[in-house]
Amino acid sequence: MKKPGIMIILWTVTWFTVTGCLETRSSGGNGKQNSQFTASSCQVPQTEDLETLVKDWLPDLKKRGICSQEEDSIERKVSELVVVKAKRLLQADQDDEAEQLLRYPYTPFKSWEAQATLGEIAWRRRNWQDAFVYLESAWDLLNDPGATPISPSPAEKQKVADLAMEVQLMEGSLKRVIRGDPTEEITAVPVQFVFGKDTFTQRGKASVETLKEYFKGRHPEHITLMGHTDPIDTDSYNCRLSKRRAEAVKKELIAAGFNANQITVIAKGERDPPTLSRGNKYTKEEIYQLDRRVTFSEEEMSDSKACN
């Protein structure tokens, strides 16, 4: 009768890439792997082991001081790796895991993509206030050449701007006008009114104040205000209501010093629903909330969809 053999495998695998060095060791018979990065160059290892990369390799690199002139660039590259993995986790609906990765120290460099992805997570959770904070931060970073030397594409900028405005519409409060394309013809802003009336809520009043400051900084030759409602009630009722609400905003702008002849009011009622960046991911009630808005243009306009 043969006795069972005892086999112990000792192995070492070393993986070298064009960007760095990673050693993975397994000792004894337990099969447990211990990863260790060797901070021997200023190039960032391409690896899925982000915890070791951030908690071991990066601090070791800084301690040795061999890449002090390139520290920002290295932290930026590490953060890019983290964002790529976080986006994959989001696609798999692993929001908590993605959020954990995007928090410091896993993202040592505050990038616009990391902030935008955190905004996406907050949006998915319907946390509109936090979503705007992250998206506003992303917007500022992507427009800062120091933080973002390579400017994102216009489509990427527009995506951040659109979602930033949508979460403000959902929260019902305008904190800042963010326009992806400064030449875009129409921009939607949240201005809340008392139900069925043209009286501002407290949030609505604050939104109008923000809008005033925006126009004061822009000095437009003309402003067109367009009132919109949800599709609840009749078309004629919604047309009248949207006109009164747009007129209420006009009245506030005139009180702030704008010339009445500079401002055109158009009532649209329910006739021109918004184009949403994530239209199929909103509930019916949320879409109604997005319907209730005031849009503006810095041009004198007429519109075929306007109420007669």
Please tell me the distance from the alpha carbon of residue 210 to that of residue 262, in angstroms, as a whole number: 19
d(CA 64, CA 139): 35
pLDDT at 21: 42
Q: What is the pLDDT of residue 166?
A: 93
Rounded Cα gap, residues 200 and 206, in angstroms? 9
pLDDT at position 85 is 92
101-153 per-position pLDDT tens digit: 998 788 888 899 999 999 999 999 999 999 999 999 999 999 999 899 999 99
Mean pLDDT of 273-301: 89
The model's confidence at residue 17, banded by pLDDT at 50, 70 and 90, is very low
Q: What pLDDT, on the 0 to 100 scale, is given for residue 32? A: 40
Whole-number Å distance between alpha carbons of 256 and 78: 48
Q: Assign 55 a pLDDT band (cuts: 50, 70, 90).
A: confident
Number of neighbouring beta carbons within 10 Å of residue 28: 9
Is CATH 1.25.40 the classification given to domain 33-58+70-160? yes
> Residue 35: pLDDT above 80?
no
Cα diameter, the chain: 105
Residue indicated by tokens 């190039």: 43
| pLDDT confidence bin for 6, thresholds 50/70/90 | very low
Range list for CATH 1.25.40 in the chain: 33-58+70-160
Question: At a CB cut-off of 8 Å and minimum separation 6, what does 250 contact?
Answer: 225, 260, 263, 265
- Asked if residues 17 and 45 have their Cβ atoms less than 8 Å apart, the reply is yes
Q: Would you say residue 281 has pLDDT above 60?
A: yes
pLDDT of residue 40: 61
Q: What is the 3-state secondary structure (H, E, C) of the chain?
A: CCCCCCCCCCEEEEEEECCEEEEEEECCCCCCEEEEECCCCCCCCCCCCHHHHHHHHHHHHHHHCCCHHHHHHHHHHHHHHHHHHHHHHHHCCCHHHHHHHHCCCCCCCCCHHHHHHHHHHHHHCCCHHHHHHHHHHHHHHHCCCCCCCCCCCHHHHHHHHHHHHHHHHHHCCCCCCCCCCCCCCCEEECCCECCCCCCECHHHHHHHHHHHHHHHHHCCCCEEEEEECCCCCCHHHHHHHHHHHHHHHHHHHHHCCCCHHHEEEEEEECCCCCCCCCHHHCCHHHHHHHHCCEEEECCCCCCCCCCC
Most confident of 8-12, 42-46, 48-52, 194-198: 194-198
CATH assignment, 185-297: 3.30.1330.60
Average pLDDT, the chain: 84
Does residue 230 surpass a pLDDT of 80? Answer: yes
Distance CA(289)–CA(39), nearest Å, equals 53
Is the pLDDT confidence value at 30 over 80? no
Per DSSP, what are the bridge partners of residue 265? Answer: 225
Q: What is the pLDDT of residue 294?
A: 92
Task: Say what the pLDDT of residue 37 is.
Answer: 56
Query: Does the pLDDT value for residue 11 go beyond 50?
Result: no
Reply yes or no: is the peptide bond before residue 152 cis, omega within 30 of 0: no
pLDDT digits (tens, 9 = 90+) for 174-216: 999 999 876 677 889 999 998 889 999 999 999 999 999 999 9
Lowest mean pLDDT among 44-53, 91-100, 161-170, 292-301: 44-53
pLDDT at 31 over 50: no
What is the percentage of the chain residues whose pLDDT exceeds 90? 59
Whole-number Cα distances in Å, 152 to 31, 39, 79, 111: 44, 31, 16, 12
For residue 274, pLDDT over 50 is answered with yes
Which pLDDT score is estimated for 124?
95
Query: Which residue ranges does the chain devote to CATH 3.30.1330.60?
Result: 185-297
Task: Indicate the pLDDT class of residue 38, thresholds 50, 70 and 90.
Answer: low
What pLDDT band is residue 20 in, cutting at 50, 70 and 90?
Answer: very low
Question: In this predicted structure, what is the pLDDT of residue 225?
Answer: 96
